[in-house]
Chains A and B, each alone.
Chain A
Amino acid sequence: MSIATTPATAAATTAAPKTAAPKLKTSAMIASFADPGQKTASAPFGHALVKAARENDKIVGLTADLGKYTDMHVFAQAFPERFFQMGMAEQLLFGAAAGLAETGLVPFASTYSVFAARRAYDFLCLDSAEPNLNVNIVGGLPGLTTGYGPSHQATEDMAIFRGMPNLTIVDPCDSIDIEQAVPQLAASDGPTYLRLLRGNVPAVLDEYGYTFELGKAKVLRGGNDVVFVSSGLMTMRALQAAKALAAQNVDVAVVHTPTIKPFDAATVLAEINTDRLAVTLENHSVVGGLFETVASAVVTAGIAKQVVPVALPDEFLDAGALPTLHERYGLTVQRIVAKVLAQLG
């Protein structure tokens, strides 16, 4: 792809017409993806970890100079003697997390997803996963949740991590998922990776009589025409898209699969193996994430069925304002609805 054809570069190098509306700006590192007026919870991970740590004195926290940006600071303030600042040194962060686990502790170690997956893979793989230690990786900015560009956008974190034996991967939708997942991650034996949503995180799933169960997919709503299989914040968008499509007489079921690995193929395949249009929705590259997890389960089961992905393209993404980028790369409700309607003809 030539540089001149990328939208961001084109926008940056072409003088804007004087009458154009002001362009949205890349906001803080961590842009909120909550809709205006949406119910949210503040720092759900930090508070859930504090709560879990009150009940389990083996839980400790670590970070690599990103405590404030991964909500780990809430834990650090509540339990300063159980918090270890490792500095901007991700190999040390995860090697030390393994060492802490070797002494019987239950570490939660936070950094951005890009640094966990790209910089520290070997340390997670050999020091925690191979000996199957209870090391809990907490990765901020999963997928496209920052406008800072590829240095901070972990669009392929699940693709990287899915090949690691023993590792459990959780892609939570909202604050309820996170609050309920944290104690279960602490209680599960092997290593885990949590795709962290931090700051003011939408609270969505309480309206659906939902509870998080590690390793389980849940049908959030039924529908006769289309079945959405989604994870992470895209479950929130899937639910919103289902409502929008209902207004156009398209009846959409939504299956939420917060645990990507081990994958609850039984629940998902039971929903997919129908004559409804099947769509996966994920905040991740179309390579190696939820779509390919579902696709491999479908093929393995011998089901002849098209599955339509809503996912980020296999590209390095642009920098920019998050709403602009979600629209550009197809993660908005509007883009999902359009894609479904096009598929239905």
Chain B
Amino acid sequence: MSTTQENVAPTTERVGSVSAAAYRIRHHAVNMGEVQGQGYVGQALGAADMLAAVYADQLRFRAEDPEWEKRDRFLLSTGHYAIGHYAALAEAGVVPVEELETYGSDDSRLPMSGMSTYTPGMEISGGSLGHGLTIAVGMALGLRYQGSDARVYNFLSDGELDEGSTWEAAMGAHHHQLGNLTAMVDINALQADGKTDTVLRTEPVTEKWEAFGWYTQRVDGNDVAALLAAFDNAANQAAAVGRPSVILCDTKVGRGVPLLEDREKAHFMRIEEHEWQLCREQLTAGFEGRAAR
């Protein structure tokens, strides 16, 4: 199609800005994990670059008005990633940073599993996995029907590729030519019962999405420049021609904290009381080390 454009590599400023946001999101997530003493910190650290790319670079929203009609929609299908999403919402100014310490506490607006009825900026109640993309299809249809140019981003995990409903939605999005829909799949190769390839083999993932008619890219989900380039590609190559796009993001659980990156991978990671400060120090040392290079 002639409507597509050549891509320009993301600028250093853009990459730097998103990387700094990702660093702060990771810090928030570690702090929230410490309040609970446990939690899905590993997933939040792994997905922080994806969340930062969305909130610091892609998403059109008003922090002071989360219900703004013209906003882009970000759907967290993986409800247990809420810890990462709250961190991103704090980074985006939607949720006060000081509120993060209530994460998972009684009467908090920040429950362990994300719910739209609790938290500003939380579009859906995820958690029963495989729902997000079906809702995203309806939102994308509804926004387009009403003449809105808002986009819908659905964040899902590779574990959710086990769910048949994800593929029902993948077909529906292609059939209805939803160029205003982008799916982001966090491929951390880990599920509740173990490694994804031992629980239910989902590979070849790229070929599956391509076969379902999506504009498909697979990137290192912890490489901010690659993520931003993928979003740019999707906007230029797919949106204008009515093709839904998917960005398959290979990520590392615990990314940014070597102590956790090297730990035996677990869906629900245990971290000892004395380790939280060490996590923060490693996070900062890594970020400052990269920035200095």
Contacts and interface: CB of A to CB of B under 8 A. Distances in A.
Secondary structure type dominating chain A contacts: helix
B165 A92 contact: yes
Interface stretch (A14-22, A126-134, A199-207, A257-265): A126-134
Contacts of A92: 134, 137, 165, 168-169, 171-172
B116 A98 contact: no
Given A60-B145, A126-B128, A87 B172 contact: yes
A82 B141 CA distance: 10
A86 B145 contact: no
A100 interface: yes
Interface residues on A, range: 20 to 34
Contact of A105 (B128, B145, B171): B145
B137 A105 contact: no
Nearest to A86: B172
Chain B CB count within 10 A is highest, among A60, A97, A103, A104, for: A103
B172 A103 contact: no
Main secondary structure of the interface of B (DSSP, over half): helix
A89 interface: yes
B138 A95 contact: yes
Interface in B88-136: 115-117, 123-125, 127-128, 130-131, 133-136
Interface string B168-189: 1101100110000000000000
Interface in A53-112: 60, 81-82, 84, 86-87, 89, 91-92, 94-105, 107
A126 B172 CA distance: 20
A87 B146 contact: no
B131 A104 contact: no
**Residue from B139, B142, B145 with most neighbouring chain A CB atoms (10 Å):** B142
Interface string B221-253: 000000000000000000000000000000000
A251 interface: no
Nearest to B135: A99
Given A89-B171, A91-B134, A103 B142 contact: yes
Contacts of A60: 142, 145
Interface in B134-178: 134-143, 145-146, 148, 164-165, 168-169, 171-172, 175-176
Interface string A204-225: 0000000000000000000000
A321 B235 CA distance: 56
Contacts of B146: 103-105
B142 A95 contact: no
A82 B145 CA distance: 8
A102 B123 contact: yes
Interface string A112-136: 0000000000110011001100000
Interface in B261-284: none
Nearest to B116: A131
Contact of A89 (B116, B123, B135, B168): B168
29 contacts: A87-B168, A87-B171, A87-B175, A91-B130, A91-B134, A91-B165, A92-B165, A92-B171, A95-B135, A95-B137, A95-B138, A96-B134, A96-B172, A99-B137, A99-B138, A99-B140, A100-B139, A101-B138, A102-B124, A103-B138, A103-B146, A104-B142, A104-B146, A105-B145, A105-B146, A122-B131, A126-B125, A126-B128, A127-B131
Q: Which 7 residue pairs of A and B lie closest in terms of their CB atoms, listed nearest first?
A: A99-B138, A95-B134, A96-B138, A103-B142, A89-B168, A91-B165, A99-B139
Given A95-B134, A100-B142, 4 more contacts: A95-B165, A96-B135, A98-B124, A131-B116
